Structure 1
Amino acid sequence: MEETGTQSGVGTRERLLEIAEGAVLAKGFGATSIEELIVEAGITKNGFFYHFPDKNALALALLERYLEREERLLDEVFTRGRELSEDPLHAFLIGLKLLAETMADLPQTLPGCLVATFCYQERLFDSRVHELNRSIVLGWRARFRRSLEAIQTRYEPREQVDLDGLADMVSSVIEGGMVLGRATGNPAILPEQIMLIRGYVKLLFSEPSSHGGSA
């Protein structure tokens, strides 16, 4: 099957990604076949290979799509937090609360975490997929560390804390909450977990630093 136009091609590619993501999250990448994807999408094998030369190309596209979607969401909620408060701690806490509320408003089935899924089956993928998966994890660490560094300039932590480790904890709660919510069929787990890490950050940085001034 050949694509008849740009709009048609984009629509088919997005539909294939949507079908593939659901299948991969349900049973893993290895158990997801090209044949089942083309049957559900209503296209031929040639139509599939028009968009994805092989399964690794499909995996890469799934991760890129996931990254774009997650980055857009995080940008929205944490930018809104900074708009509502100039205090770095309050802005971060607002962002986490907005994220929890957004996750609570999602449909019953959570989107799941492709990063975790691909890590579990890493032997199936080439270096491009491994590198993008790694960059997603490191990107989340860098994002949250920047916020935590800004907080630490104004607030003295109640106990010694490694900011990389704390940034990874925030990431793990968000990504792990998706996995737990999907595994248990309880979508409330993710927003609850986000609010728990929010409470921890709030308690950890509750005292203004002597060199940073009051909030």
Structure 2
Amino acid sequence: MLDMTPRRRSDTRKRLLELAEQMVLAKGFSSTSIEELIVGVGITKSGFFYHFKDKNDLARALLERHLEHDKALIDELFARADELNEDPLHGFLVFLRLFAEMMAELPEAHPGCLAATLCYQDQLFSRDVRELNASGMLLWRTRFRERLDRIAARYPPRDSVDLDTLADSVTTVVEGGLVLGRALQDPTILPKQILLLREFVRQAFVA
């Protein structure tokens, strides 16, 4: 008979992370207890500590999982946009439209961003977790700045535009749209904000 223990351990870790993310987004990290997690997943406390040495370790794993998911999402959307258009400006505009459409297809307001949630309670975490979160934000800046550099090389900006600031605006629009959409329980806010940013980018460059 095949030994399924490694598979079960992997499944347990995955279920812990999924439940922890739901709870952290719903009520914050400090209010998410280990006891609630072990009851929700149906394991013992020693089972939890087999996977995570403490809550800080759980936060690190949650953040790593979140950043991997974000990277995969951005990669997929950029790949689809690149297939549809080779022009750097038009490709970026297609990317933003695809992003807006994806957000618009959500059945209800997005539950929020894990990275932002952890930022609000960063005093709870070790330095390496805080630095990991910051590196994730900087990765978004780098990814979008690379695209904007290609655009600017072909289409000089109409006015003086700081490309790092413009790259950061993608993150700020998304995070702000998530907060406002959740507060007002209006899932249309985020896609509308992304489309507004799309129009700003279009007008910022000579095309």
Q: Is this a same-fold pair by TM over 0.5?
A: yes
1:156 aligned residue: 156
The residue identity in structure 1 corresponding to 2:63 is L
Determine what percentage of the aligned residue pairs are the same residue. 59
User: Hey, what's the Cα distance between the residues in 2 that align with 1:135 and 1:154?
Assistant: 29
1:89 aligned residue: 89
2:101 aligned residue: 101
1:212 aligned residue: none
User: Hey, what's the Cα distance between the residues in 1 that align with 2:185 and 2:128?
Assistant: 32
The answer for unaligned runs of 5 or more in structure 1 is 209-215
Say which structure is richer in helix.
2
Deviations 1:41-63 (A, max 9, x none): 11110111111110001000110
Q: What is the TM-score with the length of structure 2 in the denominator?
A: 0.95
Which sits farther off after the overlay, 176-185 or 187-196? 176-185
Q: What count of residue pairs does the alignment treat as equivalent? A: 205
Which sits farther off after the overlay, 171-180 or 121-130? 171-180
Q: What is the TM-score with the length of structure 1 in the denominator?
A: 0.91
Aligned to 1:186, the other structure's residue is in SS state coil
Structure 1 residue ranges, 4+ long, deviating more than 4 angstroms after superposition: none
1:140 aligned residue: 140
Mapped contact 2:110–2:182 kept (Cα < 8 A)? yes
User: Hey, what's the Cα distance between the residues in 1 that align with 2:124 and 2:47?
Assistant: 23
The residue identity in structure 1 corresponding to 2:158 is R
The answer for unaligned runs of 5 or more in structure 2 is none
User: Hey, what's the Cα distance between the residues in 1 that align with 2:10 and 2:104?
Assistant: 30
1:43 aligned residue: 43
Deviations 1:47-93 (A, max 9, x none): 11111110001000110111111111110111111121111000000
RMSD, aligned CA: 1.4
The residue identity in structure 1 corresponding to 2:43 is I
User: Hey, what's the Cα distance between the residues in 2 that align with 1:182 and 1:109?
Assistant: 6
2:175 aligned residue: 175
